[in-house]
Chain A
Amino acid sequence: MKEKGGKGTFLILEILSPAVAFLLALAMGAVLILSLAENPLHVYNVMFRGGLGSIDGLGYVFFSATPLILTGLAVAFAFRAGLFNIGGEGQLYMGAFFCAWIGFTFPSMPSTLMVPLCILFAALGGAIWGLVPGVLKARFGVHEVINTIMLNFVAMLTTNFLVNHVYKEPGQMIPQTKEIATTAWIPRMAPLLQRLHIQLPTSNPLNYSLLLALMIAALAWLLLFKTRLGYEIRAVGLSHKAAEYGGIKVGATMVLSMVISGSMAGLVGVNEVLGYRHRFLDGFSTGLGFTGIAVALLGRNHPLGVVLAAVLFGILNTGALEVDIFTDIPRELVMVLQAVIIICVVVGDQVFRRWVSRRLPLQPHAGFFH
């Protein structure tokens, strides 16, 4: 009876549907490339070789995927609770700033204390920026989309102000804080990998934050699907009325979900500040919080899916650079491709699902005739 919507069908649907959408997007991208008088096969070849053709490229793929895993998880986690957290951008700015502030304010702290504290504050900054819209939603019913968008501006401009007027590195033109203490640095992965005979160049920025991101993904999965809290969060996400009936405190669960979601986005600061730049750079995020929405969508709001989707976006990001250099196609095309993928996933998924469910009684029109 597997076909009756059991786990088998479910899995096939979950994986097949984004895959079909991806292929469709490539096909549509090919039309675009053709219209620019380039050979799509050549361009795609360059693009995928950029990310997948060398160890160095792979390193960049995972480096680029690290923050997207975190922002993707943040969106997906909130989504499981029925909340649309568009505030990843603001949350990661706050997280990164909190993180950096600890890093350059307490330079004499030992590394064993410093790194965990910085990570904690990165999460804390994001958590506060998730708490506010969470409370506003639960307490006053104000829609979280509006609050999170507005708080993005507040976070960006607040950190902008702090960097330029309070914590600016003296004698520098660049709007950035001074460097954090070296005790707060998270090392790059290249030395270890080289010892394992994986020849990642030392110049590659891939650092241990990737492991943190993967760990957070695993924790998110455990929390959502293996704990009572996760059960309650998902229940709230599906139906407030039923959750309330089941004795679940809907408001408190929403607030908590937003806090957890925000802290995930805040952890982007770890990769950015502790692992890469070692300082807070004003406006460092290139829309990572927003790309997280796409990552969550493509990953079907499942932690594993989010990781895979983030890696795919990492491949595209890395490939975009190569396309820019080695073909006449501008790198913007790859961004167009990303956008097309997202649209294909959203539309294609619906169409595909409808097509399947017409053949399987997955969703008998509830209450239509019964």
Chain B
Amino acid sequence: MLLEMVDITKRFGSVLANDRVNLQVRQGEIHAIVGENGAGKSTLMKVLYGLVRPDSGTIRMRSREVRITDPGVATQLGIGMVHQHFMLIPQLTVAANLVLGMEPHGRLGTYDRRGAQQATKDLAQALGFQIAPEDLVGDLSVGARQRLEIMKVLYRGAQLIVLDEPTAVLTPQETGELFKTMRKLRESGKTIIFITHKLSEVMELTHRVSVMRHGRVVGVMETDQVTPDQLAEMMVGRPVLGQVDKDPFRPGPVVLEVRDLQAVDARGAPRLRGVHFSLRAGEILGIAGVEGNGQTELVEVLNGLHPATAGQVFLEGRQVLGESPRQIREESVAHIPEDRQNRGLLLDFSLSENAVLGLQHRSKFSRGWLRNRAIREHAEELVELFDIRTPDLEIAVRSLSGGNQQKLIAAREVQQDPRLLIAAQPTRGVDVGSVEFIHQQLANLRSRGKAILLVSADLEEILGLSDTIAVMFRGKIVGQFQADQADERTLGLLMMGQGVGDGPSDLGSREVPEGEVR
């Protein structure tokens, strides 16, 4: 047994984040930890990495009791952590990031640049990575950054590697690459703790799985003796269907039409390079793509949050490009933003204050004075309908779990019954039970004849919900399909820019005329 965490208990106020949690990880295995948001996985891993001190319980590495008081100790013990949000410095090179804090140095204590480069090359070669030591991290793809994070952990001598939801940001192809890497690491004798929300990944890759719920480990199983449905049920505490009830596709008139939309980012680099599409009432249009291919800008331009440099946007035939965010909201356009913590919520505002963000102008909620009663009632309604777990309505949303924060945003935006909902990564970092719920809400909106633009890096989500799928690559739509004619492989290849020309005649600039079978 490489790692044993015994009876770990951690209480935050009245909340038991970890309740006598036991985790045993064998040398050389890939061990999955699954559980809903707020089940206690994070706390447990923070304890392991020395970021949180447990109230009671012991940790043993190779049968010897250890006291992990800070991440430095964890590193010395050979524990490495790849965080979901990368801890890299974009302005520095790959090599500099790799050795940061443990730089090789010359005789006079100077930074040994060559040594760092050599270390990078050696590690990359051992892992079979294509990565140039002198590239700037800022120019790397998400997948490459993650590979660099793994290299960083190995450079620090990790034997036990914790990967925190590593696939959340990857394309299917990149995920495949990551899995290859993980297998390779295991073959070279490393042990991996793998945190994920995706049960298919647990099934594909891991040897054993620990399931957490409400701060406890509710089961530890050999992966090959359990089905995904059983896992989901253990996590959520009820059977999870995973299937969204969708009415047959009956598209209405065009709600949103986007023509030749172009935009640049803050540095003037083109991010949208002529985007065309149209979206009808009662339709879910899924925009697939690796993050950073213009989806963010597309969503922000449509909501009036980012300027366009050219193009037109028609909302039910009326040109709306250039209108303010408030004007667009008043056209009954709702928006679930991808960046929930910075865009979608005011973390230090209370739940009820957040429940009316964007709606504060409505006479129902304010007439100069805030109508606090109405605001609270509205918040109560959202909490109830969307099963947001919160001790009270006045709590700062900062202290809600990520899943509940996301549910609050989804509730607020869906509950407006908008004629167009722009949903960007609506279920990122949300547990299976809540994913199912949010998906069902989107489907219901569609059944009521609303139009939904779904932007997601999660292909399963795109495939499961959309009526029409468009793939975005480098600021263009490079392919558009009817959902039943799309498959993961084709989409994945398009997302990587393969099978796409770069001339003006590529798929991206081809408009799909109304009435044509899509």
- Residues of chain A at the chain B interface (Cβ within 8 Å): 1, 3-7, 226-232, 234-235, 238-239, 241-249, 359-370
Closest 5 CB pairs of A and B: A247-B326, A369-B42, A361-B12, A370-B402, A1-B391
Min CB gap A223→B, angstroms? 10
Enumerate chain B residues within 8 angstroms of A364, measured Cβ to Cβ: 42, 398-399, 401
Whether the Cβ atoms of A370 and B342 lie closer than 8 Å is no
Using A368-B42, A369-B164 as known contacts, say yes or no to A4 and B358 having CB atoms under 8 A apart.
no
Q: Can you name 15 A-B residue pairings with CB atoms under 8 Å?
A: A1-B391, A4-B15, A6-B394, A235-B357, A238-B346, A245-B357, A245-B358, A247-B358, A359-B13, A360-B13, A361-B17, A362-B398, A366-B347, A366-B398, A370-B402
Tally of B interface residues using CB under 8 Å: 56
Enumerate chain A residues within 8 angstroms of B342, measured Cβ to Cβ: 239, 241-242
Whether the Cβ atoms of A228 and B360 lie closer than 8 Å is yes
Residue on A nearest B345 in the bound complex, by CB:
A242
Residue on B nearest A236 in the bound complex, by CB:
B346
Residue on B nearest A363 in the bound complex, by CB:
B398
Whether the Cβ atoms of B337 and A245 lie closer than 8 Å is yes
Using A245-B337, A245-B357 as known contacts, say yes or no to A369 and B45 having CB atoms under 8 A apart.
yes
Enumerate chain B residues within 8 angstroms of A243, measured Cβ to Cβ: 346
Whether the Cβ atoms of B13 and A247 lie closer than 8 Å is no
Enumerate chain B residues within 8 angstroms of A5, measured Cβ to Cβ: 13, 395-396, 399
Whether the Cβ atoms of B361 and A228 lie closer than 8 Å is yes
The answer for the CA separation of A227 and B361 in the assembled complex, in Å, is: 11
Whether the Cβ atoms of A235 and B346 lie closer than 8 Å is yes
Enumerate chain B residues within 8 angstroms of A246, measured Cβ to Cβ: 325, 357-358, 360
Tell me which of B13, B45, B357, B396 contacts A242 (CB under 8 A): B357
Tell me which of A229, A244, A361, A368 contacts B399 (CB under 8 A): A361
The answer for the CA separation of A213 and B164 in the assembled complex, in Å, is: 54
Enumerate chain A residues within 8 angstroms of B358, measured Cβ to Cβ: 245-247
Q: Which of B107-115, B198-206, B284-292, B366-374 contacts A (4 or more CB under 8 A)?
A: B366-374
Having A4-B391, A359-B12, one finds 11 other A-B pairs with CB under 8 Å, namely: A5-B396, A228-B369, A228-B370, A235-B357, A247-B325, A359-B13, A361-B13, A363-B398, A365-B46, A367-B402, A369-B83
The answer for the CA separation of A370 and B165 in the assembled complex, in Å, is: 8
Enumerate chain B residues within 8 angstroms of A370, measured Cβ to Cβ: 37, 42, 84, 401-403, 429
The answer for the CA separation of A286 and B51 in the assembled complex, in Å, is: 47
Residue on A nearest B365 in the bound complex, by CB:
A228
Min CB gap B372→A, angstroms? 8
Question: B329 on the interface (CB 8 Å rule)?
Answer: yes
Within 8 A of A (CB), among B448-504: none
The answer for the CA separation of A249 and B402 in the assembled complex, in Å, is: 27
Question: B305 on the interface (CB 8 Å rule)?
Answer: yes
Enumerate chain A residues within 8 angstroms of B361, measured Cβ to Cβ: 228, 247
Whether the Cβ atoms of B335 and A245 lie closer than 8 Å is yes
The answer for the CA separation of A247 and B13 in the assembled complex, in Å, is: 36
A-facing mask of B57-87, CB < 8 A → 1, else 0? 0000000000000000000000000011100
Using A226-B370, A242-B344 as known contacts, say yes or no to A234 and B349 having CB atoms under 8 A apart.
yes
The answer for the CA separation of A244 and B368 in the assembled complex, in Å, is: 19
Enumerate chain B residues within 8 angstroms of A7, measured Cβ to Cβ: 394
Enumerate chain A residues within 8 angstroms of B283, measured Cβ to Cβ: none
Enumerate chain B residues within 8 angstroms of A368, measured Cβ to Cβ: 42, 46, 51, 83, 85
Min CB gap A5→B, angstroms? 5
The answer for the CA separation of A364 and B360 in the assembled complex, in Å, is: 28
The answer for the CA separation of A366 and B345 in the assembled complex, in Å, is: 13
Enumerate chain A residues within 8 angstroms of B243, measured Cβ to Cβ: none
Question: B297 on the interface (CB 8 Å rule)?
Answer: no
Residue on A nearest B305 in the bound complex, by CB:
A244
Enumerate chain B residues within 8 angstroms of A3, measured Cβ to Cβ: 13-14
The answer for the CA separation of A229 and B337 in the assembled complex, in Å, is: 24
Residue on A nearest B326 in the bound complex, by CB:
A247
The answer for the CA separation of A234 and B350 in the assembled complex, in Å, is: 12
Tell me which of B326, B341, B366 contacts A228 (CB under 8 A): B366
Whether the Cβ atoms of A238 and B348 lie closer than 8 Å is yes
Question: B324 on the interface (CB 8 Å rule)?
Answer: yes
Enumerate chain A residues within 8 angstroms of B37, measured Cβ to Cβ: 370
A-facing mask of B310-334, CB < 8 A → 1, else 0? 0000000000000011100100000
Residue on A nearest B55 in the bound complex, by CB:
A359
A-facing mask of B359-385, CB < 8 A → 1, else 0? 011000110111010000000000000
Residue on A nearest B325 in the bound complex, by CB:
A247
Min CB gap A228→B, angstroms? 4
- Name the residue among A3, A7, A370 with the largest chain B CB count within 10 angstroms: A370
Tell me which of B305, B366, B392 contacts A245 (CB under 8 A): B305
Min CB gap B360→A, angstroms? 6
Enumerate chain A residues within 8 angstroms of B394, measured Cβ to Cβ: 6-7
Using A247-B325, A361-B17 as known contacts, say yes or no to A4 and B349 having CB atoms under 8 A apart.
no
Min CB gap A76→B, angstroms? 16
Min CB gap A229→B, angstroms? 8
Whether the Cβ atoms of B360 and A232 lie closer than 8 Å is yes
Whether the Cβ atoms of A247 and B324 lie closer than 8 Å is yes
Enumerate chain A residues within 8 angstroms of B305, measured Cβ to Cβ: 244-245
The answer for the CA separation of A241 and B329 in the assembled complex, in Å, is: 16
Min CB gap A29→B, angstroms? 34
Whether the Cβ atoms of B17 and A6 lie closer than 8 Å is no
Residue on B nearest A367 in the bound complex, by CB:
B85
Min CB gap A240→B, angstroms? 9
The answer for the CA separation of A70 and B351 in the assembled complex, in Å, is: 32
Min CB gap B229→A, angstroms? 25
Min CB gap A224→B, angstroms? 11
Whether the Cβ atoms of B12 and A360 lie closer than 8 Å is yes
Residue on A nearest B366 in the bound complex, by CB:
A228
Residue on A nearest B392 in the bound complex, by CB:
A6
Min CB gap A253→B, angstroms? 12
The answer for the CA separation of A148 and B163 in the assembled complex, in Å, is: 48
Whether the Cβ atoms of B15 and A361 lie closer than 8 Å is yes
Min CB gap B369→A, angstroms? 6
Residue on B nearest A364 in the bound complex, by CB:
B399
Residue on A nearest B12 in the bound complex, by CB:
A361
Min CB gap A98→B, angstroms? 28
The answer for the CA separation of A254 and B177 in the assembled complex, in Å, is: 48
Min CB gap A296→B, angstroms? 18
Whether the Cβ atoms of B343 and A245 lie closer than 8 Å is yes
Min CB gap A234→B, angstroms? 7
Question: B353 on the interface (CB 8 Å rule)?
Answer: yes
Question: B339 on the interface (CB 8 Å rule)?
Answer: yes
Whether the Cβ atoms of B347 and A238 lie closer than 8 Å is yes
Whether the Cβ atoms of B14 and A4 lie closer than 8 Å is yes
Min CB gap B21→A, angstroms? 15
Question: B41 on the interface (CB 8 Å rule)?
Answer: yes
Enumerate chain A residues within 8 angstroms of B429, measured Cβ to Cβ: 370
Enumerate chain A residues within 8 angstroms of B345, measured Cβ to Cβ: 242
Whether the Cβ atoms of A228 and B324 lie closer than 8 Å is no
Residue on B nearest A228 in the bound complex, by CB:
B366
Enumerate chain B residues within 8 angstroms of A228, measured Cβ to Cβ: 360-361, 365-366, 368-370
- Name the residue among B13, B42, B398, B399 with the largest chain A CB count within 10 angstroms: B13
The answer for the CA separation of A1 and B347 in the assembled complex, in Å, is: 20
Enumerate chain A residues within 8 angstroms of B344, measured Cβ to Cβ: 242, 245
Enumerate chain B residues within 8 angstroms of A360, measured Cβ to Cβ: 12-13
The answer for the CA separation of A235 and B15 in the assembled complex, in Å, is: 29
Tell me which of B15, B51, B348, B366 contacts A231 (CB under 8 A): B366
A-facing mask of B144-168, CB < 8 A → 1, else 0? 0000000000000000000010000
Min CB gap B345→A, angstroms? 6
Whether the Cβ atoms of A249 and B42 lie closer than 8 Å is no
Min CB gap A64→B, angstroms? 33
The answer for the CA separation of A6 and B326 in the assembled complex, in Å, is: 32
